[in-house]
Amino acid sequence: MVLGWGIFARTAMLALLSTTALHAQQPGAAIFAANCAGCHGADGRGGEHAPNIATAPEVQHLLDRELAGIIRYGISGAGMPAFSTLKPQEISDVVSYLRVLQGRGDIIKLPGDPKQGEALFFGKAQCSDCHMVKGKGGFIGSDLSFYGADAKPDQIRAIILDPDKNLPADKKATTVVTLTGQKITGMLKVKDNFSVSIQTPDGAFHYLPNSELAHVDLYSHSLMPAGSTLSGKEVDDLISYLLRIGDENSKGSSTHSAKSDDDDDN
């Protein structure tokens, strides 16, 4: 029993040392250790003087550019100092290393081809009819430029294959029927005690007083078609594209934001 525990302990220690060494190879690791670890802890999970920034959801959900701004300017009144002396690339490296500590920094490998996924997004899959990426595409759906930076592959796959089941309610369409029998389906933009405003897929906005409505079916279904027309390989391609473009845009916005701020100071 003692021998078994010794082997287990040694194996666990070797795994820990291996993980630590892997993390230390990250460009931002040394900068994080010198400037951040003293307060936030070497693993980012909080210390005596600063909160957990590794597993706290409110920090994980921040975009890279938002994290870069916090590092550069600090948070007034919260004890977070500004690190304005760090170069833009150094700030970007720290953000990338923090993502590793959060469990998001490793490159997600899928059998899909991002290039083929891009062709699908703007072609056969018709995603761009409703969704935009980097200013190109439709507007009735969410802008997906940064979506892949936060979303998990299984989450994206579930939404593609069955959007009615897996999309959040506020991303689904609303249908209204007027007293005259007119039926309008689109994305709900405004709903109050007096009226409903809906944007239909053609881009038109419909303002409808409540007094003229016979029925309102909130978030009844998804405008997004199920991905049953796509092969398994095509779904992988599409997921890979969304992950890649989200990661690139998120990292690019971090570096661009820091560089722009640096230029403003000169």
Instruction: Report pLDDT for 55.
Output: 87
Considering only residues 21 and 67, tell me which one the structure prediction assigns the higher pLDDT. 67
pLDDT per residue as tens digits for the range 9-52: 443 444 444 444 444 456 788 898 889 988 998 889 988 889 99
CATH architecture, range 2-101: Orthogonal Bundle (1.10)
Residue 257's pLDDT is 45
Average pLDDT over residues 131-158: 89
Mean pLDDT of the chain: 82
Per-residue confidence at 8, pLDDT binned at 50, 70, 90?
A: very low
- The answer to whether 140 and 186 have CB atoms below 8 angstroms apart is yes
- Which fold, 114-166+226-265? Immunoglobulin-like (2.60.40)
Domain 173-221 has CATH 3.50.50.60: no
Alpha-helical (H) ranges within the chain are 2-24, 29-35, 37-40, 57-60, 64-73, 88-101, 114-121, 147-150, 153-161, 163-166, 232-265
How high is the pLDDT of residue 78? 85
Task: Among 85-89, 103-107, 141-145, name the one with the lowest average pLDDT.
Answer: 103-107
Distance of CA 83 to the CA centre of its chain: 25
SS3 category, 188: strand
Hey, do 2-101 and 173-221 end up sharing a CATH topology, with the first three levels equal?
Answer: no
Q: What pLDDT score was predicted for residue 111?
A: 66
* pLDDT of 106 higher than 90: no
Band of pLDDT at residue 121, cut at 50, 70 and 90: very high
- Domains of the chain, residue spans: 2-101, 114-166+226-265, 173-221
* pLDDT at residue 260 greater than cutoff 50: no
Q: State pLDDT tens for residues 193-247.
A: 999 999 998 889 999 999 999 999 999 889 988 877 899 899 999 999 999 898 8
- Is the model's pLDDT at 176 over the cut of 90? yes
